[in-house]
Each structure stands twice: as structure tokens, then as C-alpha cells.
Amino acid sequence: MYAIVNIQGQQFKVEKNQELYVHRITEDEGASLESSEVLLIDADGDVKVGAPNVSGASVKYKVLSHLKGDKVIVLQEESDAKVYPREKMATAQYFHQNSDRNPLIN
């Protein structure tokens, strides 16, 4: 059994006890979340597709930890392909979560 869930504008395929890395949110570590934006549920061949969401379906998550992604270095270039000595760096913020249970249909 799996579900396609929309979390902060991104779609993820989730199963029971699967760990995901999603862009960071403001919840603390150990907090439980519930998403009602379930787009599709496949229960052993019985597929339910929402328009846009499956009515009565929800998926619960638990925030395991907050992480930082790899540092990305961006170099600026001139029009004649010379590289400026200036660098810009960005680090993506993520959180690590675990789906607590199978998608539920209430």
C-alpha cells in the first residue's frame, strides 16, 4: 500500500515506516504532522485517485531531525567568460521525517 502526498508543494510517494527528506518547516523534532492532501492511494491494486485530493484520506508523519544540505557555490561570470572572484553560497534546509502509518480513509 502506498500513497502520493503533497507536502509543501512537492509530491512524494509514501509507504508505512518510510523515511523522507523534505524541505524544512518550523515544527520541532519529535512533532507529529498530518497531511490531508493525499492525491492517490494504491491499496493492493485498488487505486483511488483524487480530484484533486482523495476525500477522507490522511497520512501522519513524525519529524525525526532537522538537517542542512550540501553547500552550493555559485560563481558569477562576465559576458566574455571571465569569472568574478565573488562567490555566493547557499545551504538548503531540510527535515527528516517518518510516516507513522498507512494512509487512512475515514
Give me the pLDDT at residue 86, please: 62
DSSP 53: S
- What is the per-residue pLDDT across 30-55, written as a single tens digit (0 to 9) for each? 888 888 889 999 988 888 898 889 98
Give me the pLDDT at residue 77, please: 62
Domain ranges (residues) in the chain: 2-105
> Highest-confidence range of 57-61, 88-92, 97-101, 102-106, by mean pLDDT?
57-61
Q: Is the pTM of this model over 0.75?
A: no
∠ CA 44-49-53, rounded to 5°: 125
Residue holding cell 508523519? Answer: 61
Q: Which position has the higher pLDDT, 62 or 87?
A: 62
